[in-house]
Structure 1
Amino acid sequence: MSHHSEVYSEAPVVPVGAYEPPYYVAVFTTVRTQGQSGYSETNARLEDLVKDIPGYLGMDHAQTPGGLGITVSYFRDADALTQWRTDAEHRAAQQRGRAEWYQSYTLHVAKVERSNGFTRAQVPQSPTAG
């Protein structure tokens, strides 16, 4: 099995923050095929496209060494999620994914009822005594 590495944006590695519920998440879990021609370009295009949807809150990605990919997308309301689900370019990419890029996938959509987060405070570096 090949290991597909992804290069996403150069943004700092931090999870999407907690929002005031309710809001929605779409969890897309994939195992990809060997044939990945055009995948990276399409993925980058879709990441740009989803940002234009009013109510889009962000996205987290993870990839296991074994090849399981997980993308969690966050949306303020069901209308935003529906707009993304029915977007023409997104639908075309879904068809191509089933035809070429994915060995298998699952999609879970859920309404978030509780949300919280934690970030470790940065401790300022003290000058070295000397």
Structure 2
Amino acid sequence: MSIAATPVPPYYAVIFTSLRHLQTGAADSSDAVADAGTRAATRSGSDDGYGAMAALMLDSAARQPGFLGVESAREEIGITVSYWDSLQAISNWKRDSEHQLAQQLGRSSWYSAYRVRICRVERDYGFARDAGGAADPGGESDERLSTPPG
């Protein structure tokens, strides 16, 4: 996984934070939208169908109009941030039939708790090293704003 390449703001972020059920053989945490399933299956040997559904959701989301990218991390909690070009695109994804099935399975089988937060990204900036390990000379001066400062 890498950091998502997003456009110049504004755009939208959906932040999905989850806690997995602690089940025998199940991974201790993750999230079903973006986890490709490899970490959960590797750590536990079994993921109760979670990894397959997560891979399906990532593939399905990537085909949705308005999808811009995704980033995911997990330890004791899972956090996935998906990026979208509009609130309408987010709403369409929420209503997608495969996604609705994953949501139902998440509530009944995989999660003890989750929270979804939706926000508008007004500015972003970053830092990166090139393939040889040298720092990007732009650093945080690579700031991108939805409205130029003035």
TM tier relative to shorter chain: 0.7 to 0.9
Structure-1 residue corresponding to 2:77? 68
TM-score (norm 2): 0.68
CA contact (8 A) 1:18 1:116 kept: no
* Equivalent of 2:57 in 46, 69, 72: 46
- The structure, 1 or 2, with the larger RCO (C-alpha pairs under 8 Å, 6+ apart) is 1
Structure-2 residue corresponding to 1:85? 94
CA contact (8 A) 1:21 1:112 kept: yes
CA offset at residue 117 of structure 1?
A: 2.1
Structure-1 residue corresponding to 2:113? 104
Rounded Cα–Cα distance in structure 1 between residues aligned with 2:7 and 2:125: 8
Rounded Cα–Cα distance in structure 2 between residues aligned with 1:117 and 1:74: 16
CA contact (8 A) 1:84 1:90 kept: yes
Q: Give the gaps of 5 or more residues in structure 1.
A: 1-12, 125-130
Structure-2 residue corresponding to 1:20? 8
SS where residue 92 of structure 2 aligns? Answer: helix
Indicate the percent of aligned positions where both proteins have the same amino acid.
38
Q: Residues 1-20 of structure 1: CA distance to partner in whole angstroms, max 9, x if unpaired?
A: xxxxxxxxxxxx42113421
Rounded Cα–Cα distance in structure 2 between residues aligned with 1:119 and 1:100: 38
Structure-2 residue corresponding to 1:32? 20
- Equivalenced residue count is 111
* Equivalent of 1:118 in 127, 133, 141: 127
Read off the aligned partner of 1:93 and give its amino acid letter. Answer: A
TM-score (norm 1): 0.78
CA RMSD between the two structures: 1.8
Read off the aligned partner of 2:13 and give its amino acid letter. Answer: V
SS where residue 85 of structure 1 aligns? Answer: helix
SS where residue 114 of structure 2 aligns? Answer: strand
Q: Residues 20-75 of structure 1: CA distance to partner in whole angstroms, max 9, x if unpaired?
A: 111000000111012541111111111110111111011001012xx211110000
Structure with the larger helix share: 2
CA contact (8 A) 2:6 2:69 kept: no
Q: Give the gaps of 5 or more residues in structure 2.
A: 27-46, 134-150
